């Protein structure tokens, strides 16, 4: 169960975002993708979550190219993007119930407990604060368990004690043989972290 990407190139709206990026990720590791705004962190993560096709280069999971068998690869990954994938007219519990039903799991209560969402679980997400919405979104990581977590700015609107909570969950996930790709500006001082700095790569590509 390892993720391996070779010479990835990304072109968005006729603009070269990054060029010839290689990375590999094995169970028990966290890869911290760093780089200033516009250096392509989000694009790289979306390519690895097969939401975006790279101009060149291949991404392989367990040695097989994800283009050949995307379904299998998608089962093993959970992607958390900038947007909270929550329907405003439904409550946090209903949202999580849908997601766990949709991915054929049934771990909603652990997810709500893990992110301490029980008190606000039944309010429509409309009236929740940004931090509460982000926690409901992150709770999907527990509601739909998957070995590979691809996280784009996961802690951006969380306050400090919930950042600590998320850090423990992330490290627990990695200790149990999971792996994570993390794009964030905050230094979470995680143990067992490798770094991939997109700034150097984009310089070379110029």
Question: In Å, how far are 41, 42, 185, 200, 203 from 34, measured between CA atoms?
Answer: 7, 10, 7, 10, 14
Residue pair 66/60 in contact (Cβ under 8 Å)? The answer is yes
List of residues contacting another protein (CB under 8 A): 7, 9, 11-16, 19-20, 49-53, 55-56, 71, 74-75, 77-79, 81-90, 94, 98-99, 101-104, 140, 204-206
Q: Considering beta carbons, is residue 15 or 187 the nearer one to another protein?
A: 15
What are residue 109's phi and psi, to 5 degrees? -65, -40
Q: Considering beta carbons, is residue 13 or 191 the nearer one to another protein?
A: 13
Q: Considering beta carbons, is residue 37 or 206 the nearer one to another protein?
A: 206
Shortest gap between Cβ of 158 and another protein (angstroms)?
17
Q: Considering beta carbons, is residue 10 or 33 the nearer one to another protein?
A: 10
Give the three-state DSSP class for 203.
helix
Which residues have C-beta within 8 Å of that of residue 138, sequence separation ≥ 6? Answer: 80, 115, 154, 166
């Amino acid at each position: 169960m390892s993720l391996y990407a070779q010479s990835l190139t990304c072109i968005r709206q006729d603009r070269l975002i990054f060029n010839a990026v290689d990375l590999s990720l094995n169970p028990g590791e966290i890869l911290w993708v760093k780089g200033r705004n516009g250096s392509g962190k989000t694009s790289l993560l979306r390519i690895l979550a097969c939401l975006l096709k790279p101009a060149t280069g291949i991404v392989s999971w367990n040695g097989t190219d994800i283009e050949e068998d995307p379904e299998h690869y998608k089962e093993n990954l959970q992607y958390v993007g900038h947007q909270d994938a929550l329907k405003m007219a439904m409550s946090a519990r209903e949202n999580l119930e849908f997601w766990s039903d949709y991915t054929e799991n049934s771990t909603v209560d652990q997810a709500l407990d893990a992110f301490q969402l029980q008190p606000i679980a039944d309010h429509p997400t409309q009236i929740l604060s940004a931090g509460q919405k982000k926690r409901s979104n992150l709770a999907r990581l527990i509601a739909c368990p998957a070995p590979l977590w691809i996280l784009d700015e996961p802690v951006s609107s969380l306050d400090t004690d919930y950042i600590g909570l998320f850090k423990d969950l992330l490290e627990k996930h990695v200790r149990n043989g999971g792996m994570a790709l993390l794009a964030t500006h905050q230094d979470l001082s995680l143990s067992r972290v490798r770094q991939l700095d997109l700034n150097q790569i984009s310089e070379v590509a110029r």
